[in-house]
Chain A
Amino acid sequence: MEPREDRRGGVSEARFESLLDTAADGIIVIDEAGRMLVFNKICEDLFGYTTEEVIGQSVNMIMPPEFATAHDEFMSNYHRTGEKRIIGIGREVSGRHRDGTVIPLELSIGEAKTSEGRQYIGVLRDLRPRRAVESRVSQLQAQVVHMTRLSAMDEMGAAMAHELNQPLTALLLYLQALARQIKVCHAEEKAPSEKLLGVLDKSVLEAERASHIVQRMRQMVEKRDPERSTIDLREVVNEALDLSEFVAQGATVTIRRVFGMNPIWVDADATQIQQIMLNLMRNALEVAKESEERWVKVSIGSDERSAVVSVTDSGTGFSEDVGKSLFKTFSTTKKSGMGLGLAISRAIAQNHGGDLLADPGGNGQGATFTLVLPMRRSMPAES
């Protein structure tokens, strides 16, 4: 503490001390040579050293070695060129606790010219609590996404079971027929006929039909990390619409597809985009089913910057109040909980640098949901 007390004194020193100790952030002041002049209470907790231990010591002692070397270079570079790399900007850096733990820090630095030369004031914030919250949030988000996918699967489950039943039934009956006829052949000491081979071929086809259904189902349910790739939005949306149509089988709602001729390239996770589409389609089909005209229109367009997918139904739209709470996590106009789906869909869209917008419609107009995604900057090489 000696050097500081030399320079300051009386009332202002006391005020300065109390300011330092009540600050919620760590505060460190260093001189031109990198020696620490001020080290407040928060820093003591953060780094595990007492103020007495560090005053006059090089600031490198609270940095991981690789940062310490870089720091020396930064400082001498700044003194030589005046080029600011961090002063007035702030950035994320790593600090090191006495016990060796590396601490992610947000650091902003100010500069003061004093009679004893330049001094630098660093304000540090421990990023670990924020990191923990962020990782918890993204964990929860992944879980919720997985859950909605599962709940969509639940609805699909019935449709799937029905679909699987048919090929399995046909397959088993073909096999029963084959078994009987082969027994007859044996009894009569005849070779199996061409016709039997035909039945065998047909049973293979039915087994394949069943496995295709399982594959499609698996693609939907598997939880995995977002996988961005360059995709043609038309193809991905088209597939999702096929799936919606399949789930809504029996419902006599027409799905109108208004797609252009040219591919629309976006960088996105195809499965997540399809999940948004399935969600929007589920809601739109539900509304359209109760309407007079019974259609859902899906159009895809783009300009230089964004790609846009709009889903409009033949319903009567919704009120302003409903519109306001539409994206709230647990709001819903029906029991199946479409609010959750929309909130997640919007989160996914925003994760992609896009958004999900709602136009409530009304006055005979159905609601429109619009998914906006940033266009890919350059075209992928044609393969």
Chain B
Amino acid sequence: MFFIVEDDPAVADALESLLAGAGFSVRVFASAEDMIQQGAPSSEDTMIVDLGLPGMSGGELVRRLEKAGQNPKVIAISGKSSRTIARETEGLSHLKILRKPPSADWLEAITA
């Protein structure tokens, strides 16, 4: 199962189209808070999270899941500068980062 946490509805919808079109099941959340409320992903799942979420940031969400012992595969997406991304993901080791806008096929990158 794929969990998408992205506040921009178009980006979330496009990601969903891409994954659902390839036959995966997908859940979409507009904020970190929404996702926590509606059930967190397990280690079987993949969470695609925007780092620049309003409210709780993507980085915070990942830290929180780690603390709670939930370890889904994490793919962070961000449109910010590499320096900002480095700062926002400090201390988070096993996450893959995809930068917006995409420069390669994201389905391959996400499912790899």
A in complex with B: yes
**Given A161-B79, A180-B107: A170 and B22 interface contact (C-beta under 8 Å):** no
Is B14 a contact of A174 with CB atoms below 8 Å?
A: yes
Is A169 a contact of B21 with CB atoms below 8 Å?
A: no
**Across the two chains, which residue of chain B brings its CB closest to A196?**
B21
Is A173 a contact of B106 with CB atoms below 8 Å?
A: yes
Minimum-distance CB pairs A-B, first 9? A165-B79, A173-B14, A168-B101, A170-B10, A170-B14, A177-B18, A169-B100, A177-B17, A165-B100
Is A168 a contact of B107 with CB atoms below 8 Å?
A: no
Instruction: Give 1 or 0 for each of B29-62: 1 = CB within 8 Å of chain A CB.
Output: 0000000000000000000000010100000000
Residues of chain A with a CB closer than 8 A to B64's CB: none
CA A171 to CA B11, docked complex, whole Å? 8
Residue of A166, A174, A199 contacting most chain B CB atoms (<10 Å) = A166
CA A214 to CA B38, docked complex, whole Å? 37
Q: Is A162 an interface residue (CB 8 A)?
A: yes
**Given A165-B101, A169-B102, A172-B101: A177 and B21 interface contact (C-beta under 8 Å):** yes
Q: Is B66 an interface residue (CB 8 A)?
A: no
Q: Is B90 an interface residue (CB 8 A)?
A: no
Residues of chain A with a CB closer than 8 A to B107's CB: 176-177, 180
Task: Give the interface of A toward B (CB within 8 A).
Answer: 161-162, 165-174, 176-177, 180-181, 199, 202-203, 205-206, 209, 250
Residues of chain A with a CB closer than 8 A to B22's CB: 180
**Across the two chains, which residue of chain B brings its CB closest to A172?**
B102
**Given A161-B79, A180-B22: A168 and B100 interface contact (C-beta under 8 Å):** yes
Task: Give the interface of B toward A (CB within 8 A).
Answer: 8, 10-11, 13-15, 17-18, 21-22, 52, 54, 77, 79-80, 100-102, 105-107
Output the least CB separation between A215 and chain B (Å): 18
Is B21 a contact of A173 with CB atoms below 8 Å?
A: no
Residue of B11, B15, B22, B105 contacting most chain A CB atoms (<10 Å) = B11
Output the least CB separation between A203 and chain B (Å): 8
> Interface majority SS on A: helix, strand, loop or mixed?
helix
Output the least CB separation between B99 and chain A (Å): 9
Residues of chain B with a CB closer than 8 A to A174's CB: 14, 17-18
Is A170 a contact of B79 with CB atoms below 8 Å?
A: no
Is A169 a contact of B17 with CB atoms below 8 Å?
A: no
Residue of B14, B79, B102, B105 contacting most chain A CB atoms (<10 Å) = B14
Residues of chain A with a CB closer than 8 A to B105's CB: 176
Out of B11, B21, B54, which one reaches A170, CB within 8 Å? Answer: B11
CA A171 to CA B8, docked complex, whole Å? 12
Residues of chain B with a CB closer than 8 A to A209's CB: 10
Residue of A161, A165, A168, A250 contacting most chain B CB atoms (<10 Å) = A165
Residues of chain B with a CB closer than 8 A to A250's CB: 54
Residues of chain B with a CB closer than 8 A to A173's CB: 11, 14-15, 17-18, 102, 106
CA A181 to CA B22, docked complex, whole Å? 8
**Across the two chains, which residue of chain B brings its CB closest to A203?**
B14
**Across the two chains, which residue of chain A brings its CB closest to B18?**
A177
**Given A165-B79, A170-B8: A177 and B14 interface contact (C-beta under 8 Å):** yes
Residues of chain B with a CB closer than 8 A to A167's CB: 10
**Given A166-B10, A169-B14, A176-B105: A181 and B79 interface contact (C-beta under 8 Å):** no
CA A176 to CA B22, docked complex, whole Å? 11
Is A162 a contact of B80 with CB atoms below 8 Å?
A: yes
Output the least CB separation between B81 and chain A (Å): 9
CA A161 to CA B99, docked complex, whole Å? 13
CA A206 to CA B79, docked complex, whole Å? 16
18 contacts between A and B (CB under 8 A): A165-B79, A166-B8, A167-B10, A168-B100, A169-B8, A169-B14, A172-B106, A173-B102, A174-B18, A176-B106, A180-B18, A180-B21, A199-B17, A202-B10, A202-B17, A206-B14, A209-B10, A250-B54
Add 9 more A-B contacts to A171-B101, A180-B21, A181-B21 (CB < 8 A).
A162-B80, A166-B11, A169-B79, A172-B102, A173-B14, A173-B102, A177-B18, A180-B22, A202-B13
Residues of chain A with a CB closer than 8 A to B15's CB: 173
Out of A166, A176, A202, A205, which one reaches B79, CB within 8 Å? Answer: A166
Output the least CB separation between B70 and chain A (Å): 26
Residues of chain A with a CB closer than 8 A to B18's CB: 173-174, 176-177, 180
**Across the two chains, which residue of chain B brings its CB closest to A199?**
B17
